[in-house]
Amino acid sequence: MFESSVSYTVLPDLGPGAVHLAKATTPALKQRSLKNAIGCTGVGLHSGTKITMVLRPAAANTGILFRRTDIAGGGALVPAHWASVSDTRLNTCVANADGVSVRTIEHLMAALSGCGIDNLIIDINGPEVPVMDGSAAPFLFLVECAGVVEQSAPRRAIKVLKPVIVREDDKMAMLTPGDSFSVAMDIAFDATVIGRQHCHLTLTDGRFKSELSRARTFGFEQEVAAMRAAGLGKGGTLDNAVVISSDGEHVLNDEGLRYDDEFVRHKALDAVGDLYLAGAPLLGHYRGVRTGHALNNRLLREFFADQSAWAYTTISAATPAFADPRTRSAAALLPAYGMMAASA
């Protein structure tokens, strides 16, 4: 996720099955967490349940952990990690060995990726991250309001060393080597209002915030009944999703679209969130064709299964790929976004 031209040196082995690389000359960036705890309340897109979530600072090398506050004991912790993904039907769901799960994590994970947050405890009193407005922008705003602190440990990335590709029918997802993080996405739908769309973004210089973060999840009017019969989409409304009319000619939301190609941008946003389950930022290029959560997770599983396809590296302090979240006084705005300051 960082633009640079660098040389690498091999570090002593830090674990089985991986090459570890380090920048030879430039100082490493530090891991980051939140400065203050902050929370929000909203509805789960699929469960329809009102949920309160609090983002809390965490120590270096903690990673991203969900903590189900409605469940007692150590079994309440659920790692945000590709190996913990348990369901990919219209969302990404992670679960622990006790079967405790948190679903619809992809928009929050995309925001944490875009903000460069490495360590976080996410307290949540239900089984699903609140959908907010259906995009990553409210979570980005939460991080900006809470502020960000650098920690003592160096920040690691995962460098893609060779192409890895997965396919399913006309769908495809792949990772290829690169010294920055980019996302390319192609989608095609019969609905006229979508049709064929493409986007390609190198996520440097704050482009996640400006180009992807506001893109909302979307669905089709004629599929709502079937989704709810399957126990999904119970919290979906025109306030948190773009809904395409049954004839495919227009969107039902009065305000229309936030981007002309909002649909493909949201698919790219989902991919950013799914890929952040790698456990560290990726240095490489992602390409998706008609892909979704299931194929994204399969891509990570095959990527990490091939020990010659990746290596850890520390990240140079030269040029961060995403704009630094900036601490600012925004307490007066929090209630309007369904958010709240929280005690540590």
Catalytic residue status for 293? yes
Q: How confident is the model at residue 234 (pLDDT cuts 50, 70, 90)?
A: confident
Q: What is the mean pLDDT of the chain?
A: 87
Percent of the chain residues past pLDDT 90, beyond the cut: 75
Note the pLDDT tens digit of each residue in 86-126.
999 989 999 999 999 999 999 999 999 999 999 999 999 99
In this prediction, residues 307-316 reach a mean pLDDT of 93
Half-sphere exposure of 248 (CA within 13 A, CB side): 7
| Count: domains in the chain | 1
In this prediction, residues 220-246 reach a mean pLDDT of 87
The span from the CA of 327 to the CA of 174, in Å, is 36
Report if residue 237 sits inside a domain: yes
Q: How confident is the model at residue 6 (pLDDT cuts 50, 70, 90)?
A: very low
The span from the CA of 22 to the CA of 7, in Å, is 8
Q: How confident is the model at residue 176 (pLDDT cuts 50, 70, 90)?
A: very high
Q: How high is the pLDDT of residue 227? A: 80
The span from the CA of 323 to the CA of 329, in Å, is 18
Report if residue 78 sits inside a domain: yes
The span from the CA of 227 to the CA of 225, in Å, is 5
> What value, to the nearest 5°, has the Cα angle with vertex 246 and ends 243 and 250?
60
The span from the CA of 271 to the CA of 291, in Å, is 9
Report if residue 289 sits inside a domain: yes
Report if residue 68 sits inside a domain: yes
Q: Catalytic one among 46, 266, 285, 293?
A: 293
Report if residue 221 sits inside a domain: yes
Q: Closest Cα to residue 132, out of 52, 12, 244, 220?
A: 52
Which pTM does this prediction carry? 0.85
**Domain span holding position 63:** 8-341
Q: How high is the pLDDT of residue 25? A: 54
Note the pLDDT tens digit of each residue in 24-64.
456 789 999 999 999 999 999 988 899 999 999 999 999 99
Report if residue 113 sits inside a domain: yes
> What value, to the nearest 5°, has the Cα angle with vertex 104 and ends 314 and 180?
25
Specify the CATH number for the domain of residue 277. 3.30.1700.10
Q: For residue 158, what are its two tokens?
A: 């995962």
Report if residue 184 sits inside a domain: yes
Report if residue 1 sits inside a domain: no
In this prediction, residues 131-160 reach a mean pLDDT of 97
Q: How many CB atoms lie within 10 A of CB 343?
A: 8
């997802």: which residue's tokens?
173
Facing residues of 61 across strands?
Answer: none
Percent of the chain residues past pLDDT 70, beyond the cut: 84
The 3-state DSSP class for residue 270 equals helix
Distances (CA, A) of 50 to 45, 57, 139: 10, 24, 17
Q: How confident is the model at residue 21 (pLDDT cuts 50, 70, 90)?
A: low
